[in-house]
Amino acid sequence: MKYSPVELMIVCASHALEDRKTVAVGTGVPCAAAMLAQKTHAPNLVIFFEAGGVAPLLPTMPISVGDSRTIHKALMASSMAEVMQFCQKGMMDYTFLSGAQIDAYGNINSTMIGSDYTKPKVRLPGSGGANDLASFCWRTLIIMRHDAKKFVEKLDFLTSPGYLTGPGARESANLPKGTGPHRVFTELAVLGFHPESKRMMVQSLHPGKTLKQVQDATGFKLEVAENIGTTQEPTDDELRILREQVDPLGYILRRTG
Active-site residues: which are they? 50
Q: Which amino acid is at 55?
A: A
How far apart (Å, rounded) are the C-alpha atoms in residues 203 and 223?
Answer: 9
Q: How many residues does the chain have?
A: 257
How far apart (Å, rounded) are the C-alpha atoms in residues 13 and 141?
Answer: 8
Interstrand relation of 181-185 and 139-143 (parallel, antiparallel or unpaired): parallel
3-state secondary structure of 133: helix
How far apart (Å, rounded) are the C-alpha atoms in residues 106 and 88?
Answer: 20
29, containing H or E segment: helix 29-39
Let me know: does 48 contact 129? Beta carbons within 8 Å: no
Measured between alpha carbons, how far apart are the two ends of the chain, in Å?
15
Question: Which of these, 233, 108, 220, lies nearest to 163 by C-alpha position?
Answer: 108
Q: How many CB atoms lie within 10 A of CB 14?
A: 26
